[in-house]
Amino acid sequence: MRLLACAALLLSLVGLCVQANADVPPEPEIKPQPAEVKLPWTAEVARKSWGKGVSFLFDVETEGGKGWMRWEAEEITDKGFKSTEIVCEGDAAPKNRKPREQTWEKHVSGLQRELSGAEKSKGEVEVPYGKVECEIYTLKKAEGTQKIALSATVPGMVVLMEMEAKRGEKRDYEKWSLRSIDLPVCQAPWTFDKIAENFKAGTKTVYAGKSHDGDAKVEYVINASDIKGMTSTSTETYGAGEPKKGEPSTVTWDAYLRYFVPARFDTTTSEEKLKTPAGEFECVVFTHTTETDGGKMTHKVWLAKNEPGLLVRFDMQQEIGDKKMFYNMELTEFAKGK
């Protein structure tokens, strides 16, 4: 997936000034530079907005089909950050590209160069993330057009990029639409294809939940699954109440893992053998701790190393002043589909 190289749109206006007096050497050739494009946010605003890390998810559409891309930034400093791209094309498994070190100067000036010469307008852009007020930059050249939308409410990243070009009889088309803004999360011990193989239709997981508000039981049954994700139905029972069955819900594996896998920063990783009512499991354990002026929260998850997709236990404890809250859920039953 490759976007139109808009930097090629830079125009050079050549001026020549020669002194009338032949005894005076001519002034050097002057090439005025295009005016610097003013973005709706600054590098400083983006740095503060991104905090310790940020993950932008885009829906991607091309002539060859649909997919998605996650662009992540972490190790954020006043000077720059480390960026990573996760790309998924069609029904293929996602591919992680090699992390790159990036400076704020390069990040901002690169975008400014790309937008140089664009026609600028304002308007509301609708993407999966929502309706966003944007500054819209339209670049036109002989072989095609590219539109880029930026917003002060989404510092440091585009909201929409759309390119259409024609090379002979061949049409090139590419569109990136912002879907969500998340945190970079820890790497689960399984790939999406392995989860799909393990979580076939008919797979059932049951959890016992306890919290400061009372006890609960949650059951999940998978209706269908493939490399992209799954459709499942949940049944929830609170205390001595009647079970309540929900409607079937479809989720991608990327979103499924983000329900319980914590952010990469402020997280430690370990391994543990955990005994539960559903059996004993070798687990990867993530422990994430967040502290603020008003309190502290600890989030801990156990993932079965040899059962792709299986959450074994989840613990959350939160302290706000003198108030303490907790929630945990533990696997009590696990039955595989066929």
* Three-state DSSP state, 293: coil
Read off the tokens for 259: 């329900």
Rounded to an integer, what distance in angstroms lies between the CA atom of residue 77 and that of residue 173? 35
* Three-state DSSP state, 109: helix
Q: What is the pLDDT of residue 14?
A: 23
Rounded to an integer, what distance in angstroms lies between the CA atom of residue 289 and that of residue 280? 26
Cα distances (Å, whole numbers) of residue 237 to 131, 203, 217, 243, 337: 37, 19, 5, 4, 23
Pick from 109, 175, 113: which is nearest to 146 by CA? Answer: 175
Q: What is the pLDDT of residue 35?
A: 56
* Three-state DSSP state, 61: strand
> Domains, the chain, ranges and CATH?
6-182 (2.40.360), 192-335 (2.40.360.20)
Are 70 and 149 a contacting pair, CB within 8 Å? no
Q: What pLDDT tens digit does each residue of the chain (338 aa) get? A: 333 332 222 222 122 222 223 343 444 554 444 457 899 999 999 999 999 999 999 999 998 899 999 999 999 999 999 999 999 988 888 999 999 999 999 999 999 998 999 999 999 999 999 999 999 999 998 778 999 999 999 999 999 999 999 877 788 899 999 999 999 999 999 999 999 999 999 999 999 999 888 899 999 999 999 999 999 999 999 998 999 999 999 999 999 999 999 999 999 999 999 999 999 999 999 999 988 877 889 999 999 999 999 999 999 998 888 888 899 999 999 999 98
Q: What is the pLDDT of residue 152?
A: 97
- Radius of gyration over alpha carbons of the chain, in Å? 26
Q: How many CB atoms sit inside 10 A of residue 84's CB? A: 16
Q: What is the pLDDT of residue 19?
A: 28
Read off the tokens for 67: 């997919």
Buried b (16+ CB within 10 A) or exposed e, 218-232: bbbbbeebebbbbeb
Read off the tokens for 51: 């905090």
* Three-state DSSP state, 94: coil
Cα distances (Å, whole numbers) of residue 188 to 73, 264, 283: 18, 11, 11
* Three-state DSSP state, 108: helix
* Three-state DSSP state, 33: coil
The burial class, CB within 10 Å (0-12 / 13-18 / 19+), for 301 is buried
Q: Is 50 left (phi over 0), alpha (psi -120 to 50) or beta?
A: alpha
Cα distances (Å, whole numbers) of residue 289 to 230, 262, 265, 298: 30, 9, 9, 4
For the chain, helix (H) and strand (E) counts, in that order, are 4, 20
Read off the tokens for 330: 């533990």
Pick from 79, 68, 101: which is nearest to 182 by CA? Answer: 68
* Three-state DSSP state, 74: strand
